[in-house]
Structure 1
Amino acid sequence: MPMNCLGSRLAVATIAVSFILALPAFAQFAPPAARPAAPKTAASPRAASCHNGANFDRFLADVKQKAVAAGVSQRALSEASPYLVYDQGIVNRDRGQRVFGQLFTEFAGRMAAPYRMQNGQQHIKTYAAAFARAEKEYGVPPAVIAAFWGLESDFGANMGNLPTLKSLVSLAYDCRRSEMFVNETIAALKVIDRGDLTPEEMIGSWAGELGQTQFLPTHYVNYAVDYDGDGRRDLLRSAPDVIGSTANYIANGLKWRRGEPWLEEIKVPQNLPWDQTDLTVQQPRAKWAQLGVTYPDGRPLPNDNLAASVLLPMGRTGPAFMAYPNFAAYTEWNNSLIYSTTAGYLASRIAGAAPMRRPAGQVTQLPFNELKELQQLLVRAGFNVGKVDGVLGQQSRAAVKAMQIKYSLPADSWPTAELLARMRGGTAQAQPASAIR
């Protein structure tokens, strides 16, 4: 199930986007194409080195053997076989993902727009019984489910238009994440085996996600539930099944804490210890209140021990949020900070929260080439930032914060021209882990 979104949420998870997000799937999909009676057979690729030189047909035979060992019936394999073909185009999409710079306020303004909030509220009214049942059984508020539903497919309007089995088996044969997609292929066969979907019904994103909240097949197998009582778990067409299954995944897969908040906008003082504004740092709300953190209108935070982190997706001059333990469900669903914060914010809006305040002034983001240069300088300073690609993920954020501490700059993890200038002037050695906290 969910963990991606960028053409697929998998792509965001792969590059761990924080400040830069590739174009999400729901913005790319055309209306689903007519479903063919059987797909055309693709040309066989060159033998992949990670499979000991085995060609695709030999590799596929091995996958089928593994599926049988995992309990998949010969009937399901026979039905699926015409769709288990290689498509180099899928692999090319996986390897050729493009990214673009976008500030959180721009992305959230587009993806958490009023129409999507209103759509979410209307769906909660339309399917009130299913939402109420899901909240009672799983403890997940309707607004949380509706926000993911809206972001992932615009409530079923854009689920993808590519044959799922072909996507999965092509990515399984590719060497980049072979084991993962072999497991996803077998899970998709299990979905067919238990009668939830037929092979020809399995149409979704290029990364093999299915349904209105874009479940990976393993999560479809483990968390999909039959909420409309028709004997099938249909996440393509049944709104009750979508609602119940999404709640089940959030509660049991992502460990949602019943009755607790997830994300609230706050106002932070100018003298806040910026090195404490990190998802890895949790303090009781009473402690944050002592430090001068309030609600946006100046109301005080509750004087209690509920753990929370201060989240600054655009640094100290941008919007500020109180992120509670339940926010971990959002970063687990999609580890892109810009996506997870937008999803949490949209859920709060659907639940009735006011629109977030706009920054008092312009928040500047470094251009792509300078972000990449900053990463290179961080690597020279001894940090592991992952791939040097101009995409600042969590590792790069941590490195930025450490260097801000070294240079006595506000340590809010936001890359600035001042930090870049300091690092150009003389690369310093990495700080010990204790200095990053």
Structure 2
Amino acid sequence: MNNSEKQEELFDPNNVKHDQMLGNLQGNILKGHGRDFTSHLFIRFYKNKREEAVEWLKSFSGKVTSCKKQLKETAIFKKSGIPGSVFFGFYLTAEGYSYLGKKTDFLTSMKNAELEDPDVTKWEEGYQEEIHAMILIADDNYDTVQNHKQLLVKELNGFSDILKIENGNVIRNPGGEGIEHFGYADGISQPLFFREEIEAYREKYKYFQAFDPAFPLEQVLVKDPLLENENAFGSFLVFRKLEQDVKGFKRQEKQIAEKMNLENDEIVGAVMVGRFEDGTPYALSHEDGILDNLTNNFKYGNEAGKCPFLNHIRATNERDEASRSMIMARRGIPYGTFYDIEDTVEKKRGLLFMSFQSNIKNQFETSQLRANAKKDPVIGQSSPFTAEALCFGESTENRQMDFKSFVTLKGGEYFFAPSIPYLKNLN
């Protein structure tokens, strides 16, 4: 049985035999929650308050949004326009499991990862601490998210410390697509897990299928390691706060464009990112504005040797069998206000990166290390370097272009998204 056949058998939400599994699984893993605003609470439980913490966790499990509930609410929204309820997610670190008296050999910490990241001592306050858990709150209404955040802060008072709170907010371009702060359409190359989405994609590209977004369950889900229940699954979560120097990125675009005598600064960003701001893949067109601008239906040729770096989307997804094994379900969201060239005060902005996977080492870490090695100019944690003008299509002059990364890690951690029954039956 090939991946596609296995995929369709496992991921039809209308199949009754999967009903219990979907009810036990946290939402946002197989499909993004789709809300515009989020709040992320990073907490550490008091050492002498384990009993109170366990009782609260068991109670809070009733609020955690299941995949089943998320799918039902999505169907209702598509049919009647009625929005879903507030989304809640709960995730534990290795230290959190240890605090609860559980074995932690299945989970490690980002603090110990060998990723060429900035030293932990340079991370923001809060992320340097021992984090036990993260709570995710999401809704389309900013005030609703903030009200629930305040209620949770009060609930947690007395048996835990709130180490850090991050607020996320979707930003969109005039076409309505979600974008990140550099201005590029984001969240395009996502794995698909459900029959309806896969069949729609295959119908759209039935005459030319260069990239298949259908992935098996095993790409993101694993059996809950601490619960004897064949219908209880979870997923490994990577969280990273990535600060973006948008002003610096735009300045570099302009400087290189002027040096190259390019009429459009954006061609520089398209080479570095791999897409124009509207999503048009540079591999398909050296101008933006193609009709199917958000397409993933392309592969790469053998032109990589012309340049000492790979564009961001190629560095993280070469679109071959090896890169398919690294694909993660990315569920990040921007933070901060969108960059305005007229801003007189420097504002902090960036991405609250989140990805779900079945193996952090083989997926996230392998992908990040590849981005470093290939000098991904967007997320690669590599030293500044120079590149020939040839990278931008010039062959007559041997001019050097200086490059550096404009994304800085401010902190993060590895988590596991336990099944809802695990939380409900803690002891």
TM-score bracket for the superposition, by shorter chain length: under 0.3
Normalized against structure 2, the TM-score is what?
Answer: 0.24
Higher helix share: 1
Larger radius of gyration: 1
Structure with more relative contact order (C-alpha pairs < 8 Å, separation 6 or more): 2
Normalized against structure 1, the TM-score is what?
Answer: 0.24
